Chains A and B, each alone.
Chain A
Amino acid sequence: DGGITQSPKYLFRKEGQNVTLSCEQNLNHDAMYWYRQDPGQGLRLIYYSQIVNDFQKGDIAEGYSVSREKKESFPLTVTSAQKNPTAFYLCASSIGQGPGQPQHFGDGTRLSIL
């Protein structure tokens, strides 16, 4: 089945530690996205990538980093510079970026601070 796989489902971070969230898709989509969701809020865009080896900052990129070395993979690193990382992180993909491209989401990763 085609889809988006995020791992792990739950992740705990210690103070001063970097952690990496995995996102893999086998939909052959060009565009991939990372969102952060906090309780009672909508999804906020962290980073997005339209094509391999290229990515752009979203609205809340500070304290995060990404890479796009393969079309299928778009990992997100939450660095120690992100002072409030506890949230639900969602990865998504679409065929391309432009009006009219529905996004397909993974099941998400819940990150908490120890």
Chain B
Amino acid sequence: GQQVMQIPQYQHVQEGEDFTTYCNSSTTLSNIQWYKQRPGGHPVFLIQLVKSGEVKKQKRLTFQFGEAKKNSSLHITATQTTDVGTYFCAVGGKLIFGQGTELSVKP
């Protein structure tokens, strides 16, 4: 079945540093979604990408979809403590989730 690999599994940064998580698939994707799960919470939908090479921004968050629609990235500029949590990519109709990247931010 469809699988998606997400790296890194963990990322520890100093507040103010940038952060990037990557999602890779061996097959062409029709779309990709990104979710954030705060510690002890539930996943919350952030954004969806559908077009080849698409770039979307939400304040300090930048989402990219690869030209071949096989990979995607989420980049956070100047992290804050409120960014702490696990970021998941998800693909497909019934959603296959990546393993997630857990971000911790040291004040």
A interface residues, Cβ below 8 angstroms from B = 33, 35, 40-45, 48, 58-59, 90, 92, 97-108
Contact = CB atoms under 8 A, between A and B. Distances in A.
B45 A103 contact: yes
Nearest to B94: A48
Top 5 A-B pairs, shortest CB-CB distance: A105-B42, A102-B45, A42-B97, A43-B97, A42-B99
B93 to A, nearest CB: 5
Given A100-B48, A102-B45, A108-B42, A41 B99 contact: yes
Q: Which DSSP category, helix, strand, loop or mixed, fits chain A's interface?
A: loop
A45 B44 contact: no
Contact of B94 (A40, A45, A102, A105): A45
Nearest to B100: A42
A33 B48 CA distance: 19
Nearest to B47: A102
B74 to A, nearest CB: 15
A99 B31 CA distance: 7
Given A99-B31, A105-B42, A108-B42, A43 B92 contact: no
Nearest to A107: B42
B45 A104 contact: yes
A90 B42 CA distance: 8
Contacts of A108: 42
B71 interface: no
29 contacts: A33-B94, A40-B9, A41-B100, A42-B97, A42-B98, A42-B99, A42-B100, A43-B97, A44-B97, A45-B94, A45-B96, A48-B94, A58-B94, A59-B1, A92-B43, A97-B94, A99-B31, A99-B50, A99-B92, A99-B93, A100-B31, A100-B50, A102-B45, A102-B48, A103-B45, A103-B90, A104-B45, A106-B42, A107-B41
